[in-house]
A and B are shown apart, each in its own frame.
Chain A
Amino acid sequence: AQSVTQLDSHVSVSEGTPVLLRCNYSSSYSPSLFWYVQHPNKGLQLLLKYTSAATLVKGINGFEAEFKKSETSFHLTKPSAHMSDAAEYFCVVSLSGGYNKLIFGAGTRLAVHP
């Protein structure tokens, strides 16, 4: 069965410092993995997606994630945090290997301090 575990429920960084949001996945076959962001009182927006092409995936707003099969990880990073990055971030695995049923992690709330 596929699942994702987000290792931190809350992460706090200062503006201009790097961001690391950690995600481990479990999948019986090659997964499709995603990161979504949810700003307060807003819907979910796709940040980036991995679908068995390049292992380093670049997304919107300067975010990127690296798929590491040996570590079953798909951590999200950004070199320099901005105040507007404060939001909840979800690591997601696709149940069917495509874009069909999405299984969401519990979420990581990112706080950015001036």
Chain B
Amino acid sequence: DSGVTQTPKHLITATGQRVTLRCSPRSGDLSVYWYQQSLDQGLQFLIQYYNGEERAKGNILERFSAQQFPDLHSELNLSSLELGDSALYFCASSVVEYDEQFFGPGTRLTVL
């Protein structure tokens, strides 16, 4: 158990809908990262936050957004969902920005 928690574990929704994935980092970790794992794209970095501020962006679609709250938990919002958004979404956290990342168990999103 890495200490990073993600909810929900599974999410099934329909195309066009909007969902929110939640991540609680390890106690004391200031940086949160989001990754997407899909069969065709593999594991891809989406976005990073550090102490509430966006620090780095990867291959994140405009339909996706994220934020990190004052209590350091983070939410990833996915809107206008498409079939291709079905994937496993991981959150990771680290103490500071340039530090080892610890991964949560992931949220499996299925878009029907």
Which chain B residues numbered 9 to 57 have a C-beta less than 8 Å away from chain A? Answer: 33, 35, 42-45, 48, 55-56
Q: Does B94 contact A (CB under 8 A)?
A: yes
**Chain A stretch 35-85: residues in CB contact (< 8 A) with chain B:** 36, 42-46, 49
Does A44 lie within 8 Å of B103, measured CB to CB? Answer: yes
Q: Is B97 an interface residue (CB 8 A)?
A: yes
User: Main SS of chain A's interface residues?
Assistant: loop
A98: Cβ under 8 A from any B Cβ: yes
B99 lies within 8 A of A101 (CB): no
Interface bin, chain B: 20 to 34
User: Do the beta carbons of B48 and A100 come within 8 Å of each other?
Assistant: yes
Contact of B100 with A42 in the complex, beta carbons under 8 Å:
no
Question: Given A43-B105, A45-B103, A90-B43, A98–B48 Cβ distance below 8 Å?
Answer: no
Q: Residues of B at under 8 Å CB distance from A?
A: 2, 4, 33, 35, 42-45, 48, 55-56, 58, 90, 92, 94, 97-106
- A residues sitting closer than 8 Å to B (CB atoms) are 36, 42-46, 49, 90, 95-96, 98-107
